[in-house]
Amino acid sequence: MEFTPDIAISMGQYHAILIGFVGLVLLSSTSLHTEAGLNMGLSVQRLSATGWVMEDVNLDLNLESGQQLTVHMTAASLRHDALPGKIEGIRLDCPLQTVQRTYHCHDGRLSIGASPYGPQELRVSGEFIDSERLKLKAQGFKLASGRISVELELKEGSWELAFKGKDLKLDALRKAFAARSLPSDSELSGRAQITAQVAGNQSRPEHIDMDIQVSKFSYADAEGLHVAEDGRFRLDIKAKRKGSDWVGSSGFILTGGQFYADPFYMEVLEEPLSLQLQGRWKPAAQVVQVDEAMVKVPRVMESRARIDIDTSKMAILQADIDLQSDNVDSLYRVFFQPMLIGTMADDVEAGGMLHSRIGLKNGQLQTLHADLKDVNLDDRRGLFALYDINGSLTWGREKNPAKSHLRIEGGQLYRIDFGALEIHAHAQQGEVALEAPVEIPLMLGLLHIDKLHLLDLLGDSPRWTTSAQFRDISLGALAEAFEWPPMEGMLQGTIPNVRYHQKRLEMDGELVVDVFGGKISVDELLIEDPLGRVPELSANMHLRGLDLARITQTFSFGHIEGGLEGEIADLRLASWEPIAFNARFNTPEKDQTPHRISQRAVDNLTALGNGVGSGLSSTFLGFFKEFRYDRIELQAKLNGNVAELDGMKHPDGGYYIVKGSGLPRIDVIARNRQVAWKTLLERLKSIRVEGMEVR
């Protein structure tokens, strides 16, 4: 016999065992109105409704005395669409009492021989008034090494379901429900306490209130890119239906554990990390509208945001984010540094406060505004430092230019300290340009930047150009910064157009420096990877009209009077050390200035050319402190580790470095033409100069 009842309640989403119980009570209700003793048996081979089917159902009703009615029901199997497998060996024993036309079952037992969740022994109780009013309760359901209890109340078309899960093992839960949202080769463990209340009308849930607490939470995917260790968190969700939408709020509090989501790492120790959400889910439009999201990462940042998410693509449609951090160092270490690993900004010590507003549309950054207060950025490798940055940065994707203003109290680039500067700039799509020239106090002088233009910052080919002048730069401060020999004097000069693109810094035209009474110009300047591991510089330098008296006074080399010109062609530096050049320094033709050279300078030049000093002081020439000379010339060509030296041709071999004139005449003649670069450096170091250390 097959009997298919017309059951109005469709509860496919809820527990199939309870459905069976309700169905059978409904089925038998019409024959219970009798005062006499009664034994009634009913066998149904197959009982089914939408979404479920029960087979070999036997129902025995025993009305023993008075109102005491006992229901015994067995079923061979129950299948339900919501269950991963069938339930077998079902047996329900329920003593019923009738009070004012309501049937009560206070101490029923439901046993299940086999189910996807193992065999079960449940305590069940319930009240039944009619097909639209009943209460059911089942306790002791064993699942995932924990216990579950469920309460269901039906009341004139509406229903309420209460669920409690205690000490549920997450790994077992995952197996029981074959959770497909997690990769199959991932590892999951932890214990959960779950309470949930769901209310609805007919088959539609209308209200959900859920609280989940998880402890000892561990998760790891196969590659180790997403990992949690010893996590503790609490998640609560409250939602109710409004028309076709759901509105609600959710809270997530992380109270402990270590978490890694490549490349970000976070450890929660004392203060909890919290996330509060309030918003609306529009299933028809496949949109989640978060009206307010509040994130608090202790000692790192707090953020409020409004976000619209396309649930079909899990993409941000629009977002307005307000972010506040009183600890820029933590913000950098937690969120920025992991993304910057491998770049020049991956080892920065930061400090200060930041307030930022960020606008996103269709996943793209639209606007960015950041107020900085006392922000410090200090590269640990010593490449750069910026101290006490205050002001605001504004950028927009739209064409309207957004203006920014920053004041920096000081800083460092390489080893060069600079003073306070103010920057007024505007940003426009992928471009940033100065609104006004920037003046940077530098080495007792000033660097005046006329223009700075950053281009294609959003494209594949970001680059910048600049031009500047420098005034009264102290050579002494420059030498001190680079640990050169002490020098005196001032530098004046112009830096023409400089371009930086794809790690290449190139200069158009000539960099002209006014120094030592003449000019030193630099052209064809190219620096490859200037902030990289091995910066490579190539350039040509030309020296014109230099006054040797000023140079030798500066270098304390020994006094020389006269003019000097020369060039350093094909200069190449790697890691700021010379690896090649072709240099020539000489007295200019028709030089009208007096030509004098001191005994010490002769001695030093001789040592440079030959490796040993002249020893003049030990001869009668030691009485003369100065000598006249006709011409000085020194050529040096470095290629790799060997320097080739040369000067004016000497008829008996060797070459003049200094060709004397008058009496007493001094000629400095060098014989060695090749010298190891290291040796030449050693000679420079060993030059006898009072109070001076050559490094």
Partner 1 sequence: MLKRFIGYPFMALGLVACVTINIYFSAAAAEEAARTIVRDVLGEEAKPEQQKSAPKEEKNKDDQQSLQEILESTFSNTLGGILDFMVPTAQAATPDIDIDSPAIRKLRASMSSRQSGLAAHYRSGALGFTNNGLVAVRDLKLIPLRERNKVKKMVADENGDRKALYAEIARANGQPQWEKNIRDTFSRVWVEEAPKGYWHQDGKGKWRQK
Contacts of 328 (CB under 8 A, 6+ apart): 350, 351, 352, 353, 354, 375
Q: Are 291 and 277 in contact (CB under 8 A)?
A: no
Nearer to partner 1, 47 or 227 (CB): 227
Nearer to partner 1, 177 or 264 (CB): 264
Please tell me the distance from the alpha carbon of residue 601 to that of residue 605, in angstroms, as a whole number. 6
Name which position in 82, 341, 458, 692 contacts partner 1 (CB under 8 A): 341
Stretch that binds partner 1, among 102-110, 133-141, 338-346, 467-475 (CB under 8 A): 338-346
Spatial CA neighbour of 23 closest among 1, 51, 65:
51
Q: Does 217 bind partner 1 (CB under 8 A)?
A: no
User: Smallest distance from the beta carbon of 230 to partner 1, in angstroms?
Assistant: 10
Nearer to partner 1, 265 or 623 (CB): 265
Q: Are 527 and 504 in contact (CB under 8 A)?
A: yes
| Contact string 32-61 vs partner 1 (x = CB under 8 A) | ------------------------------
User: Smallest distance from the beta carbon of 142 to partner 1, in angstroms?
Assistant: 33
Please tell me the distance from the alpha carbon of residue 371 to that of residue 392, in angstroms, as a whole number. 4
User: Smallest distance from the beta carbon of 346 to partner 1, in angstroms?
Assistant: 6
Q: Does 570 bind partner 1 (CB under 8 A)?
A: no
Q: Does 533 bind partner 1 (CB under 8 A)?
A: yes
Name which position in 236, 310, 322, 347 contacts partner 1 (CB under 8 A): 347
Instruction: Look at the block and give the residue holding tokens 């933590």.
Output: 330
Q: Does 579 bind partner 1 (CB under 8 A)?
A: yes
Nearer to partner 1, 134 or 268 (CB): 268
Q: Does 574 bind partner 1 (CB under 8 A)?
A: yes
Q: Does 534 bind partner 1 (CB under 8 A)?
A: yes
Please tell me the distance from the alpha carbon of residue 467 to that of residue 495, in angstroms, as a whole number. 6
- Quickly list DSSP for 229-278: EEEEEEEEEEEEEETTEEEEEEEEEEEEEEEEETTEEEEE-SSPEEEEEE
- State the DSSP H helix or E strand holding residue 590, giving kind and residue range, or none if neither: none
Q: Are 153 and 189 in contact (CB under 8 A)?
A: no
Please tell me the distance from the alpha carbon of residue 24 to that of residue 592, in angstroms, as a whole number. 124
Nearer to partner 1, 298 or 396 (CB): 298
User: Smallest distance from the beta carbon of 579 to partner 1, in angstroms?
Assistant: 6
| Contact string 536-565 vs partner 1 (x = CB under 8 A) | x-----------------------------
Q: Are 19 and 11 in contact (CB under 8 A)?
A: yes
Instruction: Look at the block and give the residue holding tokens 């940055």.
Output: 389
Q: Are 689 and 557 in contact (CB under 8 A)?
A: yes
Q: Cα dihedral sign for 92, 95, 98, 102? A: negative
Name which position in 51, 89, 140, 338 contacts partner 1 (CB under 8 A): 338
Q: Does 640 bind partner 1 (CB under 8 A)?
A: yes
Residues 218-257 that bind partner 1 (CB under 8 A): 220, 223-225, 227, 229
Instruction: Look at the block and give the residue holding tokens 């065999």.
Output: 119
Chain length of the chain: 695
Please tell me the distance from the alpha carbon of residue 613 to that of residue 686, in angstroms, as a whole number. 10
Nearer to partner 1, 533 or 590 (CB): 533
Q: Does 402 bind partner 1 (CB under 8 A)?
A: no
Q: Which residues bind partner 1 (CB under 8 A)?
A: 220, 223-225, 227, 229, 258-260, 262-263, 265, 267, 337-338, 341-342, 346-347, 532-534, 536, 574-575, 577, 579, 640-641
